[in-house]
Amino acid sequence: MVRGVATTPRPPFAAVYFDCDSTLATIEGVDELLDAVDQATRAEIAELTEHAMNGTQPLARIYEQRLQKIAPPRALLDRVGALYVANMVPDVPGVIGALRFLGKHVGIISGGLLTPVQYLANHLGIPLANVHAVPLLFDAAGNYRDFDRESPLWQNGGKITVLNGLPAAQRPVAFVGDGATDLETKGTAELFVGFGGVATRAAVRAGADEFVPGPGLAGVLGHVLTAAELDQLRSEPEFRELLSAGEL
């Protein structure tokens, strides 16, 4: 099913986690770090990113290659965070607000860079304890040194590791994302919702438990909330337009 309320009964979810790039924001954060590289390198990095999102090459190899080529300085990270905020997918603030209104734990699990992802989370009111991404390491002058290789999120299966480490109070959990590493969470998260509002990937659409084509994120609510929870939102004027946008 791709729109509206899920036909398969689902238990209430204690938590809903999201990917960041091409799910909460319309951009790929790594592509916004390219000001200091030449056009040929930009094209190489764009191709590497597409391989990562489609799962056609191991993520670890691509991750290391992209950051070595870009070597982003620390000063660029807040700029990328601001671009995330400026380029949010339609309905994102409303969806996050609705989930928080209902008392859900809301978080982000991303293979992106931690500082920009935290910037977006702060804007949306998502607790930083629920934000998981890859930290970068810099020298004293703010020059790129490496990424945190202890993070599981620069490799395939990393999002599974993070989900398995969530506290018991955050289970059952639904996960929402657009790419191959998001699809890997199916079976670990109690529900995987594929999102195609920025990029529709055939494997994700075919493999997801549920799929929301977009362009906005509001349709996700029909899959992660019970009928009673949707009714509760309908009773609040601030959420009625949001539910209408999701055809709920």
Contact (CB, 8 A) for 11 and 171: no
Distance CA 137, CA 41 (A): 22
Tokens found for residue 95: 């969806």
| Active-site option among 19, 178, 182, 209 | 19
> Would residue 19 show up in a list of annotated catalytic residues for this protein?
yes
Length of the chain: 248
Token output for 241: 């337009």
Out of 21, 91, 178, 182, which one is annotated catalytic? 21
Greatest CA separation found in the chain? 55
| Residue 51 main-chain phi, psi, to 5 deg | -60, -40
231 tagged catalytic = no
Residues contacting residue 86 through CB under 8 Å, at least 6 positions apart: none
Q: Which residues are catalytic?
A: 19, 21
